[in-house]
Amino acid sequence: MTTTVVWHPACGLHDAGVGHPERPERIAAVLQALRAPELGRSIEWCEATPVERESLVGVHGARYLDLLEQLAARGGGVLDADTIMGPRSWESALAAAGVARGAVERGLETGTAFGATRPPGHHALAGRAMGFCFLNNVVIAARHAQALGRARVLIVDWDVHHGNGTQALVEDDPSIRYVSLHQYPWYPGTGAAEERGVGNVFNVPRPPSLARDVYVRDLLAAVDAALDGWHPDLLLVSAGFDSLAGDPLGGFTLEPEDMAHWTTAFRERVAPAPVIGVLEGGYALEGLARGVAAHVRALA
């Protein structure tokens, strides 16, 4: 069995400056890990096509896209305290969105895929960049899947930070269900269990430093709740590896084999629906590389 890894070289062009945790070395570490000889027979590679900005208007407002494009044309600038656009960040953002869409297309063909997206996306709101994110890659992927005939989409987010942008973009739409395990209270302060949308949001806020098996169990329980009486046509994973033990931006205790276990469990629960990973956070390079490799191996 194999899976497809979708990527684009422009995802390495975004540079928020010296010392910023969301650095180009992240995507380099991911691609290096996935090109290791032991994964060679498990992966087919596909270079994505960057999106045209007009295709993003269904997720992000035109005025916001104008702002990003114009800021990039001026050489970049600061969007918030954490989110800085460099001179080629717009290229990276369009490439990352293209990677997410390409992963959907390949996943629909073969059953699984992984999109090596950078910059990440799950904090991006319809009209605001935040938390290192410019465009919401996983929602762009979900809407693309729906345009291709997959009406019901489940998004499962295991990044250590709550995907406030994803929740805000889907919480009024019962055709998409969103499950998020995240450290709480923690950035960005959203994601309480009481936030239910139209009954389609399943938040799992947890404190740091719990035993691994608690996090593993509780996310699967929330996924089971989301699947109760409802079967998706596609499952998208917002795959953030800052939830691994030792990440500088989180306090969870997970190990790469936990991500592999989740991935296998998701595939079993939603079969025959495809399962597609979309990269979010992860800021300890060695852990990020090991986590992505475990996830992709389970997809294959």
Mean pLDDT of 49-63: 96
Backbone angles phi, psi at 102, to 5 degrees: -65, -35
Asked if 14 contacts 86 with a C-beta cutoff of 8 angstroms, the reply is: yes
Q: Which candidate, 233, 230, 250, 254, places its Cα nearest to that of 242?
A: 250
Asked if 161 contacts 281 with a C-beta cutoff of 8 angstroms, the reply is: yes
- pLDDT band at 164; cut points 50, 70, 90: very high
Asked if 116 contacts 159 with a C-beta cutoff of 8 angstroms, the reply is: no
In tens, the pLDDT along 223-269 reads 999 999 999 999 999 999 999 999 999 999 999 999 999 999 999 99
Reply yes or no on whether 123 is catalytic.
yes
Whole-structure pTM over 0.95, yes or no? yes
Rama region for 232: left / alpha / beta (φ>0; ψ in -120 to 50; rest): beta
- pLDDT band at 1; cut points 50, 70, 90: confident
| Of 123, 144, 161, 182, catalytic | 123
User: Does residue 138 have a pLDDT over 90?
Assistant: yes
Please state, in angstroms and rounded to a whole number, the distance separating the CA atoms of residues 193 and 223: 14
pLDDT of residue 190: 98
How open is the CA angle 159-162-166, to the nearest 5 degrees? 95
* CATH topology (fold) of 3-299: Arginase; Chain A (3.40.800)
